[in-house]
Amino acid sequence: AQKITQTQPGMFVQEKEAVTLDCTYDTSDQSYGLFWYKQPSSGEMIFLIYQGSYDEQNATEGRYSLNFQKARKSANLVISASQLGDSAMYFCAMREALLLSSGNTGKLIFGQGTTLQVKP
Amino acid sequence: DGGITQSPKYLFRKEGQNVTLSCEQNLNHDAMYWYRQDPGQGLRLIYYSQIVNDFQKGDIAEGYSVSREKKESFPLTVTSAQKNPTAFYLCASSIDRRSREQYFGPGTRLTVT
pLDDT digits (tens, 9 = 90+) for A63-107: 999 999 999 999 999 999 999 999 999 999 998 765 555 556 677
Query: What is the arithmetic mean of pLDDT over B28-44?
Result: 92
Sequence-ordered list of residues with C-beta below 8 angstroms from that of A57, at least 6 positions apart, any chain: none
Q: Is B95 helix (H, G, I), strand (E, B) or coil?
A: coil
Burial state string for B71-99 with b = 16 or more CB within 10 A and e = fewer than 16? bbebbbebeeebeebbbbbbbbbbbebeb
- Whether residue A103 lies within 8 A of chain B, CB to CB, comes out as no
DSSP helix/strand/coil, A4 = strand
Confidence at B110, pLDDT banded by 50, 70, 90: very high
The CA distance from A18 to the nearest CA of chain B, in Å, is: 24
Could you give the CA distance from residue B50 to residue A92 in angstroms, rounded to a whole number? 23
Partner residue opposite A113 with nearest CB, options B42, B48, B100: B42
- pLDDT (average), residues A10-21: 97
Pick the residue with more confidence: B95 or B45?
Answer: B45
> In terms of pLDDT, which residue wins out, B43 or A28?
B43
Going by pLDDT thresholds of 50, 70 and 90, the confidence category of residue B9 is very high
Does residue A61 register a pLDDT over 90? yes
- CB contact B13 to A (< 8 Å): no
